[in-house]
Amino acid sequence: MAKTFSDAPTPTPEELDQMHALYRQGGQERQMAPHIVYAEPTCPHAGCGEPMQAIDFRLEDHGRAVHDPLVRAWWNDTGFVGRCPHCGGWIHFTIRSKRAVTADEAARYPQLPEDWHAKATIL
Ligand SMILES: [Zn+2]
């Protein structure tokens, strides 16, 4: 008999990967708007401190030419990059994390419009 839920230990990395895959699949099928709550409360660049825990990117406000490829990149786990409105550093945003990247690295990913933070809701 299967273990009851209360006996279940914290999910294994494999179980987390399965949950992540399921979540991505659902979002991709529905072309859901990327919005995210990260564990880290601020910009990932050292010494910045710009609040950046929860983000609703509002990609629909930028038109389909921006929206469509970025939504696709979000749900296929490529993610996209944008500059911090405070320190100007490039940040790579994905479903699971946000991380500081160099301009060279940023050039390899789909990029948010320059004014992304003016339209996005960032908390
Ligand atoms: Zn910053």
* 11-63 tens-digit pLDDT: 899 999 999 999 999 999 999 999 999 999 999 999 999 999 999 999 999 99
> If you measure from the C-alpha of residue 25 to the centroid of ligand 1, how many angstroms do you get, rounded to a whole number?
31
- ∠ CA 58-60-57, nearest 5°, is 20
Block residue for tokens 């500081």: 100
> If you measure from the C-alpha of residue 83 to the centroid of ligand 1, how many angstroms do you get, rounded to a whole number?
8
What are the b/e assignments for 24-60, b being 16+ CB within 10 Å?
Answer: eeebeeeeeebebebeeeebbbeebebebeebebbbe
pLDDT of residue 46: 96
- Are the beta carbons of 55 and 23 closer than 8 angstroms? no
pLDDT of residue 80: 98
Percent of the chain with pLDDT over 90: 90
> If you measure from the C-alpha of residue 55 to the centroid of ligand 1, how many angstroms do you get, rounded to a whole number?
14
pLDDT of residue 3: 52
> If you measure from the C-alpha of residue 38 to the centroid of ligand 1, how many angstroms do you get, rounded to a whole number?
15
The DSSP secondary-structure symbol of 46 reads T
Query: Mean pLDDT, the chain, as a whole number?
Result: 93
